[in-house]
Amino acid sequence: MKAKEWRELSSEELEVKLEELYQQLLNLRTQKVLGQLENPHKIKEVKKDIARIKTILRERALEESRK
Protein backbone atom coordinates (compact mmCIF):
# COMPACT_ATOMS: atom_id res chain seq x y z
CA MET A 1 0.00 0.00 0.00
CA LYS A 2 1.01 3.57 -0.49
CA ALA A 3 1.28 6.10 2.33
CA LYS A 4 -1.84 7.86 1.07
CA GLU A 5 -3.85 4.67 1.48
CA TRP A 6 -2.41 4.05 4.96
CA ARG A 7 -3.38 7.58 6.04
CA GLU A 8 -7.03 6.87 5.24
CA LEU A 9 -7.15 4.20 7.96
CA SER A 10 -7.88 4.99 11.60
CA SER A 11 -5.16 4.71 14.23
CA GLU A 12 -6.74 1.54 15.63
CA GLU A 13 -6.74 -0.07 12.19
CA LEU A 14 -3.12 0.93 11.72
CA GLU A 15 -2.19 -0.68 15.03
CA VAL A 16 -3.83 -3.94 13.90
CA LYS A 17 -2.07 -3.78 10.52
CA LEU A 18 1.23 -3.10 12.26
CA GLU A 19 0.88 -6.26 14.35
CA GLU A 20 -0.02 -8.25 11.23
CA LEU A 21 3.03 -6.91 9.40
CA TYR A 22 5.33 -7.79 12.30
CA GLN A 23 3.94 -11.34 12.23
CA GLN A 24 4.37 -11.50 8.46
CA LEU A 25 7.97 -10.28 8.80
CA LEU A 26 8.67 -12.99 11.37
CA ASN A 27 7.24 -15.63 9.02
CA LEU A 28 9.28 -14.32 6.09
CA ARG A 29 12.48 -14.37 8.14
CA THR A 30 11.73 -17.92 9.22
CA GLN A 31 11.18 -18.95 5.59
CA LYS A 32 14.47 -17.30 4.64
CA VAL A 33 16.39 -19.26 7.27
CA LEU A 34 14.76 -22.50 6.17
CA GLY A 35 15.49 -21.75 2.51
CA GLN A 36 11.82 -21.65 1.56
CA LEU A 37 11.53 -17.95 0.73
CA GLU A 38 10.46 -17.48 -2.89
CA ASN A 39 10.56 -13.66 -3.03
CA PRO A 40 13.36 -12.13 -0.90
CA HIS A 41 12.24 -8.62 -1.89
CA LYS A 42 9.05 -9.15 0.12
CA ILE A 43 11.02 -8.70 3.38
CA LYS A 44 12.11 -5.24 2.26
CA GLU A 45 8.53 -4.30 1.27
CA VAL A 46 7.13 -5.39 4.64
CA LYS A 47 9.82 -3.46 6.53
CA LYS A 48 9.01 -0.32 4.52
CA ASP A 49 5.29 -0.72 5.24
CA ILE A 50 6.07 -1.03 8.95
CA ALA A 51 8.13 2.16 8.79
CA ARG A 52 5.32 3.99 6.96
CA ILE A 53 2.74 3.00 9.54
CA LYS A 54 5.01 3.94 12.44
CA THR A 55 5.66 7.33 10.82
CA ILE A 56 1.95 8.00 10.36
CA LEU A 57 1.18 6.99 13.95
CA ARG A 58 3.97 9.25 15.21
CA GLU A 59 2.67 12.19 13.15
CA ARG A 60 -0.79 11.68 14.60
CA ALA A 61 0.60 11.51 18.14
CA LEU A 62 2.46 14.78 17.61
CA GLU A 63 -0.66 16.44 16.26
CA GLU A 64 -2.60 15.33 19.34
CA SER A 65 0.04 16.68 21.69
CA ARG A 66 -0.06 20.09 20.01
CA LYS A 67 -3.78 20.46 20.58
Name, in order, each residue with C-beta under 8 angstroms of 17's C-beta and a sequence gap of 6 or more: 6, 9, 53
Q: What is the pLDDT of residue 67?
A: 79
Task: Decide which of 14 and 1 is more confident.
Answer: 14
Tell me the pLDDT of the chain averaged across its residues: 95
Ordered by where they begin, the domains of the chain are 3-66 (1.10.287.310)
Q: What is the pLDDT of residue 54?
A: 97
- 20 within 8 A of 6, measured Cβ to Cβ: no
pLDDT tens, position by position, 25-49 = 999 999 999 999 999 999 999 999 9
Q: What percent of the chain has pLDDT over 90?
A: 90
